[in-house]
Amino acid sequence: MTLNNQKHLFDIPEEITYLNIASQSPSFKAIHEAGLNGLLQKRHPYTISTSDYFEPVKVLKKLFAKLIDIEDYNRVATIPSASYGIATVANNIRLKPGDEILVIAEQFPSNIYSWQKLAEKDHAVLKTVSPPKSNTDRTKLWNENILNAINTKTAVIAMGNIHWSNGSLFDLKSIREKSKAHNALLIIDGSQSIGALPFSIKEIQPDALICAGYKWLFGPYGTAYAYFGSYFDNGIPIEESLYNRLNSENFSGLTNYESRYKPLANRYCVGESGNFIYVKMQIEALKQVLEWGPKNIQDYCKIITSEAVLELENLGCRIEDPKYRTHHLFGIELPDQLNINFLKDVLEKEKIFVSIRGKYIRLSCHLFNTKKDFEKFIACLSSVLKKH
């Protein structure tokens, strides 16, 4: 299935070139309408029934379960952020002195701080795997370095499906295979991949998958999802919410305090997970993502970026080989002679939105983008190179 451009579903002005969905997604119109419906429900609270606190959350979990290829939606928890999910995971892991937690270089902070804290508490070692210095087959060699770093001391591997800043694609299948051989947990941060890149829990079999909801899943800021495997079935949540206990649907019996949690990942949901506004918006977002399909999104992004990548390389930019990166998000290393501050000013003037980090730019696109967006960006970059 080949998707056509979907900009008509969004409210992005023609003069705006938005190549920064990896930072924050725009809402399409159905999400906006769902949010307004949620606001109306809050405006008239007497229309809110007991089932409104629970049934929409089940619908939402089932949609996310379908997206990541699992059958039991009870293994999905709705949470407020990726850091909340990682903290929940780390809170339920006990390490021995000398055990190693494996992470990759320049990992996103939300997937680092909890591991630093755990390593310090349990006298474990936080081991960072850096990319090779070579400019040839960089990501391929990086994957080899990760596999070589897994050993009998490895207790946890915590990493993204891709690198959040440049789209480097990690070989999770091989990493999972070796982690199992050493009885190491595999914890995946899917914040920059789930929704835009095909992913299957059944295939990879991670112990947990944590995913921010406001990027490629088009949810509002303050939403996220988590999958918890069997290792965490009897764990302890980081907060005690009445909604995560058995029989919480019976509001008339709330003071009949219940010691038992709901099964599987339900115990890890954030309090007030039935947020009427957010859940309605998230449901509409996931319905649309599933209708588009992550593979089709990835294919569309490849089509609109392939020519641009060649032009950028001709301008002296370095970009990872397409075999080892994603197409919805990729990083470009700018030529040394380029004046970054001048480029920032030009991009701002032309209303082109990207992520700039040092001499690197992260470009991220979706179905609301076209080849023309990249042509406009390249024209700006080319003009700056000619002047500096």
CATH number, domain with residue 70: 3.40.640.10
Task: Tell whether 242 and 152 lie within a shared domain.
Answer: yes
Q: What are the distances in angstroms from CA 185 to CA 46, 89, 207?
A: 46, 10, 6
**Structure token digits, residue 339:** 């004046």
> H or E element: which one contains 23?
none
For the residues of 196-248, what is the DSSP string, one character each?
TB---HHHH--SEEEEESSSTT-PPTT-EEEEE-GGGTT---SS--GGGBTTT
In a domain, 61, yes or no: yes
The amino acid sitting at 238 is: I
Q: Is the pLDDT of residue 358 over 90?
A: no
Domain final residue, candidates 236, 266, 291: 291
Tally of CB atoms within 10 A around 184: 24
| pLDDT band, residue 137 (cuts 50/70/90) | confident
- pLDDT of res. 359: 81
The amino acid sitting at 228 is: F
Portion of the chain with pLDDT greater than 90, in percent: 90
Angle, vertex CA 86, rays to CA 83 and CA 88, nearest 5 = 110
Distance CA 385, CA 387 (A): 5
274 — phi, psi (to 5°)?
Answer: -85, 20
- pLDDT of res. 106: 93
Distance CA 186, CA 27 (A): 32
Task: Tell whether 50 and 93 lie within a shared domain.
Answer: yes
Q: Is the pLDDT of residue 202 over 80?
A: yes
Task: Tell whether 240 and 283 lie within a shared domain.
Answer: yes
pLDDT tens-place string over residues 301-340: 999 999 999 999 999 999 999 999 999 999 999 998 888 8
Please give the span between the terminal C-alpha atoms of the chain, in angstroms, as a whole number. 44
Task: Tell whether 120 and 99 lie within a shared domain.
Answer: yes
Domain final residue, candidates 262, 291, 320: 291
In a domain, 50, yes or no: yes
Q: Identify the DSSP state of 252.
A: G
Is residue 303 within 8 Å of residue 79, measured between CB atoms? no
Task: Tell whether 286 and 184 lie within a shared domain.
Answer: yes
Task: Tell whether 175 and 302 lie within a shared domain.
Answer: no
Task: Tell whether 158 and 271 lie within a shared domain.
Answer: yes
Q: Which residues, listed in sequence order, are joined to residue 248 by a DSSP beta bridge? A: none
Average pLDDT of the chain to the nearest whole number: 95
pLDDT tens-place string over residues 30-63: 999 999 999 999 999 999 999 999 999 999 999 9
Distance CA 227, CA 171 (A): 20
In a domain, 2, yes or no: no
Relative orientation angle of helices 138-149 and 172-181, to the nearest 10 degrees: 10
Is residue 160 within 8 Å of residue 188, measured between CB atoms? yes
Task: Tell whether 125 and 215 lie within a shared domain.
Answer: yes
- Pick from 299, 337, 346: which is nearest to 317 by CA? 337
Is residue 119 within 8 Å of residue 126, measured between CB atoms? yes
Per 3-state DSSP, the chain is made up of helix, strand and coil in percentages (nearest 5) of 45, 15, 40
Q: Is the pLDDT of residue 256 over 70?
A: yes
Question: Alpha helix locations (H) across the chain?
Answer: 29-43, 55-67, 82-91, 113-122, 138-149, 172-181, 201-204, 276-292, 294-314, 340-349, 371-387
Tally of CB atoms within 10 A around 125: 15
Q: Which residues contact 70 (CB under 8 A, 6 or more apart)?
A: 76, 201, 202, 227
- pTM surpassing 0.75? yes
In a domain, 177, yes or no: yes
Tally of CB atoms within 10 A around 336: 7
Task: Tell whether 165 and 314 lie within a shared domain.
Answer: no
Q: Which residues, listed in sequence order, are joined to residue 159 by a DSSP beta bridge? A: 188
Task: Tell whether 14 and 40 lie within a shared domain.
Answer: no
- CATH number of the domain bearing residue 316: 3.90.1150.10
In a domain, 1, yes or no: no
In a domain, 255, yes or no: yes
Residues 74-79, mean pLDDT to the nearest whole number: 98
In a domain, 137, yes or no: yes
Domain that holds residue 130: 34-291
- pLDDT of res. 357: 83
How many independent structural domains does the chain possess? 2
Domain final residue, candidates 254, 275, 291: 291
3-state secondary structure of 358: coil
Task: Tell whether 177 and 280 lie within a shared domain.
Answer: yes
3-state secondary structure of 105: coil
Task: Tell whether 50 and 11 lie within a shared domain.
Answer: no
In a domain, 41, yes or no: yes
Residues 292-300, mean pLDDT to the nearest whole number: 98
Burial state string for 286-301 with b = 16 or more CB within 10 A and e = fewer than 16: bebbeebebeebbebb
Q: Is the pLDDT of residue 388 over 70?
A: no
Q: Is the pLDDT of residue 135 over 80?
A: no
Residues 123-132, mean pLDDT to the nearest whole number: 96
